[in-house]
Amino acid sequence: MILYTSNGEVRQEFSIVFTARPTGGHLQPSSESSEPQWVSPEAISGLQMHPSMRQRIQHYLDKRPGPYPG
């Protein structure tokens, strides 16, 4: 948990990874994703990311039968 002392707000950080496939259009940057991109599984190891995100992606690549809420 993170306590913000400026206003006393407490937040619980978490990560979620979704799988997707393009169906049309093109990727758009947003306030939360400045450089969106489609990446092949082979290129994932060269990307910088938080270990929790890497773990979730690896779980998908391992073809686990369901989500891992740990």
Model confidence pLDDT, tens digit, residues 15-64 = 677 788 889 998 899 998 888 888 889 999 999 988 888 888 898 899 98
Question: How big is the chain, counted in residues?
Answer: 70
Residue 25 lies in a domain: no
Predicted pLDDT of residue 64: 87
| CA-based end-to-end distance of the chain | 16
Give residues with Cβ within 8 angstroms of 22, minimum separation 6: 38
Predicted pLDDT of residue 42: 93
Residue 34 lies in a domain: no
Residue 21 lies in a domain: no
Residue 63 lies in a domain: yes
Domain hosting 70: range is 1-16+39-70
Predicted pLDDT of residue 3: 75
C-alpha dihedral sign at 10, 12, 13, 17: negative
